Structure 1
Amino acid sequence: MARKVLISLFLIFGIYYVFFINSIDPSVVMLFKLIPMLLLITLAFMTKLPTKLPYHWLISIGLIFCAIGDYTLQWFIVGLCFFLIGHIFYIFAFRTTNNAKPPLFVQILLGAYGLFMVVWIAGSVFKGGETILAIAVVAYMMVIFLMGLTSFRTGSPFAITGALLFIASDSVLAINKFMFDVAYSHQLIMFTYYGAQFFFMLSIVQYFNIRNKVVQ
């Protein structure tokens, strides 16, 4: 019952922040942005499983670092660093699993898209003379695409969906920040972002069930 209530609150606050941000007082915008993540962190930690797997804790810690990244993204590189750490925890979580391998076509598509984004986005930042920022962007992009690739190891549709949504969210964010204004960028970025984190949280139980079937 409590889990259903928290999920309902996540959906309510998430949708409100994504689609009605203009009605929120600027002094509490950051609070409204963080509430959905705090609810997901609570859901992750209150998830009761017969056996606590490293996957559970690593995903939960990743959610915490991403929530800190949410707040500190107003100082872009600081926020980027916290998100980077969050993704590293997600990668560690995925690497504790070995239930499947990413299909070759997925490896090719993600690799090609990642290379394109690095050349396009980071190349533009380098040309602007912001070397440190460009290096940070390259590092972040490499990590997030590695996160996307390793998510396939879980065999969990929720984990894979979350990873792909995160890549989509960060792609729109990068294009909007460094290349050109994207129409409805806030809605696109935050809807896919909250969706990604929601699916990561759900993957905790799903992966446990997948692992148990494999073990049995």
Structure 2
Amino acid sequence: MWNKIIATFIVIMSIVYIFFIPSDPVLVKIAFKLIPMLLILLFAWLQPAGASSRYKTLILIGLFVCMLADGLIYWFIIGLITFLIGHIWYIFAFRHVKKTTIPRWAAIILIGYGILMAGWLSGTLWSKGETILAAAVILYIVVILLMGWNAFQTANKFAIIGAILFMFSDSTLAINKFIADVPFSDVIIMTSYYGAQFMFALSINYSAVRKNLLK
């Protein structure tokens, strides 16, 4: 019962933040941005540890760090570093419950995505003389690829969906910031981002039925 109530409030508060909260004042914007993450943290905490209690702990830490990053992203480099740390905690979590090797098709897609995004984003930044930022972007892409790679190895459908949504959200944010304006970018970024974190919370109480689930 409580899970359904909290999940409903997550959806409601996400919609309120994405569609109704103005950009100013910034502190109010940040406060409402954090509310859905606080609810997702509560939802995750209430989940029984289906696969591993340590997995649950690592996911909770990742959610908390990403919540901090949500507020700090207004200071972009600090927020980027904090999100990077959040991804690393998710990697630890996924590695802890690894059940299979990544499917070949998924590996090809992830590698292709990494090469494309690294070349596009870092190349654009490099051409503008932003060499340090270009290197930071490459590092970030490597880490989110590792996060996605390890998610596939869990054979946990919620972890995999969450990782895909998180990569999509980050990619949209990066393209919008460094390449060109993306229509409805705020809606796309935050919808996929909240969806990713909610999927990670759901993954706590999910056990893969077959080791070769995705093959």
TM-score (norm 1): 0.91
1:85 maps to 85
How much is the aligned-residue C-alpha RMSD, in angstroms?
1.9
Q: Does 1:210 align with 2:172?
A: no
Alignment-mate amino acid for residue 210 of structure 1: A
Instruction: Check conservation: 2:169, 2:189, Cα contact below 8 A.
Output: yes
Per-residue deviation, 1:51: 7.8
Per-residue deviation, 1:99: 1.7
Q: Which moved more, 1:12-21 or 1:171-180?
A: 12-21
Q: Does 1:73 align with 2:76?
A: no
Alignment-mate amino acid for residue 39 of structure 1: L
1:176 maps to 176
**Structure 1 Cα separation of the partners of residues 50 and 173 of structure 2:** 39
Could you give the per-residue CA deviations for residues 117-155 of structure 1, whole angstroms, max 9, x where no partner exists?
001101111221122222211111110011111101111
2:130 maps to 130
Q: How many pairs were matched up? A: 211
1:34 maps to 34
Could you give the per-residue CA deviations for residues 80-116 of structure 1, whole angstroms, max 9, x where no partner exists?
0110000001011111122222211110111011111
Q: Report the structure, 1 or 2, having the larger helix content.
A: 1
**Structure 2 Cα separation of the partners of residues 101 and 19 of structure 1:** 40
Per-residue deviation, 1:40: 0.9
**Structure 2 Cα separation of the partners of residues 51 and 139 of structure 1:** 30
Per-residue deviation, 1:160: 0.3
Alignment-mate amino acid for residue 7 of structure 1: A
Could you give the per-residue CA deviations for residues 32-77 of structure 1, whole angstroms, max 9, x where no partner exists?
1000001111222232347852211111100011011100001111
Please state whether the residue corresponding to 1:154 is helix, strand or coil.
coil
Q: Which moved more, 1:58-67 or 1:36-45?
A: 36-45
Q: Does 1:110 align with 2:110?
A: yes
Q: 1:140 to 1:156 in 2, by over 3 A?
A: same
Q: Does 1:58 align with 2:23?
A: no
Alignment-mate amino acid for residue 208 of structure 2: I
Structure 2 residue runs without a partner (length 5+) = none
Instruction: Check conservation: 1:77, 1:136, Cα contact below 8 A.
Output: no
Per-residue deviation, 1:25: 5.9
2:163 maps to 163
Instruction: Check conservation: 2:44, 2:201, Cα contact below 8 A.
Output: yes
Instruction: Check conservation: 1:21, 1:29, Cα contact below 8 A.
Output: yes
Alignment-mate amino acid for residue 30 of structure 1: I
